[in-house]
Amino acid sequence: MTTALTLSPAELTATATRIRRHIITAVRDAKSGHPGSSLSCTDLLTALYFGHMRHDPQNPRWDGRDRFVMSKGHASPGLYGTLAEAGYLGVSELTTFRALNSRLQGHPDMHKLPGVETSTGSLGHGLSYALGMALALRLDASESRVYALLGDGECQEGQVWEAAMAASHHKAGNLTAIVDRNGLQIDGPTEQVMGLEPFADKWRAFGWRVVEIDGHDFPQILEALAESRLQPVTGQPTLILAKTVKGKGVSFMENQVKWHGTAPNAEQAEAALKELV
């Protein structure tokens, strides 16, 4: 069983930096992908896999594992980099991102890569998948928890709110949703495309326990995750609203909507990697 709960904030930061480097090189080599969306959620993924979740890369289907659903499937470079650092695949395989017949497709494929709990990419579906997992685990009297990472633009999808309503109704206290609130989506700022605010209040109105944090502060992330695990299995689901920065860690990508789904060229990638040390 792997939890890596002993990692210090400095070690978590170093791990996140390596994952960010993986994101840049994978997207550069593929000449396509979503660097901005992956960089914004890197610290959240790092905290989950190296500071909180129960999982075992040597036994990915271990019954006692926690489950993670990457609902914002286009941020797969972040997930693949995290899984590589955790030992689910070799780092060298990241060079095959989006290549023909690669296990590392543009969106995660549960049939190709160990550690991927469900195939995602159609935005809005992930929370429904995660709820189904949480209810099934509860039927099995399992202590495992389910975590789903959503994009904020994704929360404009109606199915997210159907799942949110159902999770509250069925008292899925073993379910935690995390929203990567970077404020930007492919068409621009979320509040211009389709306003989400008052965002936290909407989740509360749907019956969720809401925790608002800085999504790049490891102590805050870990505290919010620890509190969510203390919730009764039959109780309120938890929503962690994590304020993040699109393109975090690369100065010329930060808060720039054009990097939502644009790959850096060789020169840009080199400049990004020089910053990620």
Q: What is the pLDDT of residues 188-209, one digit of tens each?
A: 999 999 999 999 999 999 999 9
Which pLDDT does position 4 carry in this prediction? Answer: 45
Q: What is the pLDDT of residues 122-146, one digit of tens each?
A: 999 999 999 999 999 999 999 999 9
Q: What is the pLDDT of residues 91-131, one digit of tens each?
A: 999 999 999 999 999 999 999 999 999 999 999 999 999 99
Query: What proportion of the chain, given as a percentage, has pLDDT over 90?
Result: 96
Cα dist from 243 to 182, 199, 207, whole Å: 6, 12, 21
What count of Cα atoms within 13 Å lies in the side-chain half-sphere of residue 115?
A: 24
Q: What is the pLDDT of residues 1-15, one digit of tens each?
A: 455 456 889 999 999
Which pLDDT does position 7 carry in this prediction? Answer: 85
Spatial contact of 160 and 153, defined as CB atoms under 8 Å apart: no
Distance CA 275, CA 4 (A): 26
**250 in helix, strand or coil?**
coil
Superfamily of domain 9-275: Thiamin diphosphate (ThDP)-binding fold, Pyr/PP domains (3.40.50.970)
Domain-wise residue ranges, the chain:
9-275
Which pLDDT does position 27 carry in this prediction? Answer: 98
Which pLDDT does position 131 carry in this prediction? Answer: 98
Which pLDDT does position 2 carry in this prediction? Answer: 54
Which pLDDT does position 207 carry in this prediction? Answer: 98
Q: What is the mean pLDDT of the chain?
A: 97
What mean pLDDT is predicted for residues 261-271? 98
